[in-house]
């Protein structure tokens, strides 16, 4: 038997990591947090492909796919518990939008649900401009809206393939607790086996 997984995803700046960390602090729902990008970075460093997370999306697509699959295998080997994988639904690369979960990755992970965290594009642009922890590409609100639309399309395609629900959560400024509560309900349902 493999790990029970929920994919939590959103464009950079939507607040996926912030929502998940808030749920952890609240302590109402028990889950194991994994960051897909952190594991990809570890694997990428082992193969001497990259030195930082921001370099991953600039790798040739072939190498990105290789790192994705190796990361998915490592996650599934973690055991029979509820894991929430913080990740990107689509990745904007110099070659265009790249699916975060090609078929081989979805088959390996087999998530029970996909949670798509969104926010207003102007709010996301402002969050990114004040984030000093990452070297993010500058994007205007219209480009962010396009990326969120690509995420919705990709998430539904993934869900159709694996037979899992897609749940969209709004993470508005000053409404973090509301977003956390909505996601907690999803985690409770998954933990109780209502999905998958």
Q: How far apart are CA 146 and CA 125, in angstroms?
A: 13
Which residue's structure tokens are 């990709």? 154
% of the chain surpassing 90 pLDDT: 49
The pTM of the full predicted model, rounded to 2 decimals, is: 0.84
* Position 32 pLDDT exceeds 60: yes
> What's the pLDDT score for residue 65?
86
Q: Give the count of alpha carbons within 13 A of 8, CB side only.
A: 31
Following CA atoms 114, 34, 90, 7 in sequence, which dihedral angle do they give, to the nearest 10 degrees? Answer: -10
Mean pLDDT, rounded, for 135-141: 77
Residue 70 near residue 19 (C-beta atoms within 8 A): no
pLDDT for 56:
87
Instruction: Give the pLDDT band of residue 1 (cuts 50, 70, 90).
Output: very low
d(CA 72, CA 172): 30
Q: At what angle do helices 16-26 and 176-191 cross, to 10 degrees?
A: 70
Q: What is the DSSP letter of 95?
A: T
Share the mean pLDDT of the chain: 87
| Least-confidence region, from 18-22, 23-27, 58-62, 133-137 | 133-137
Q: Per-residue pLDDT for 81 more than 80?
A: no
Mean pLDDT of 25-36: 88
Given a cut of 80, whether residue 137 has pLDDT beyond it is no
What does the pLDDT read at residue 178? 94
> How confident is the model at residue 135, as a pLDDT?
67
The answer to whether 152 and 116 have CB atoms below 8 angstroms apart is yes
Domains of the chain: 4-35+80-191 (3.40.50.300)
- The pLDDT score that the predictor gives to residue 194 is 59
């Amino acid at each position: 038997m493999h790990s029970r997984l929920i994919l939590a995803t959103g464009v950079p700046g939507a607040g996926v990591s912030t929502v998940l960390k808030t749920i952890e602090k609240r302590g109402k729902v028990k889950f194991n947090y994994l960051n897909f990008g952190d594991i990809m970075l570890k694997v990428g460093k082992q193969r001497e492909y990259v030195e930082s997370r921001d370099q991953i999306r600039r790798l040739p697509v072939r190498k990105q796919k290789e790192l994705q699959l190796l990361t998915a295998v490592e996650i599934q080997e973690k055991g029979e518990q509820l894991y929430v994988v913080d990740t990107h639904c689509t990745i904007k690369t110099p070659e265009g939008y790249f699916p975060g979960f090609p078929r081989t990755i979805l088959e390996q992970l087999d998530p029970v649900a996909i949670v798509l965290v969104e926010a207003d594009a102007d709010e996301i642009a402002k969050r990114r401009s004040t984030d000093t922890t990452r070297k993010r590409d500058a994007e205007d609100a219209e480009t962010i809206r396009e990326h969120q639309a690509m995420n919705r399309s990709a998430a539904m395609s993934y869900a159709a393939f694996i037979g899992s629900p897609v749940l969209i959560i709004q993470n508005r400024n000053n409404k973090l607790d509301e977003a956390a509560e909505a996601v907690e309900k999803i985690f409770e349902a998954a933990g109780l086996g209502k999905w998958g």
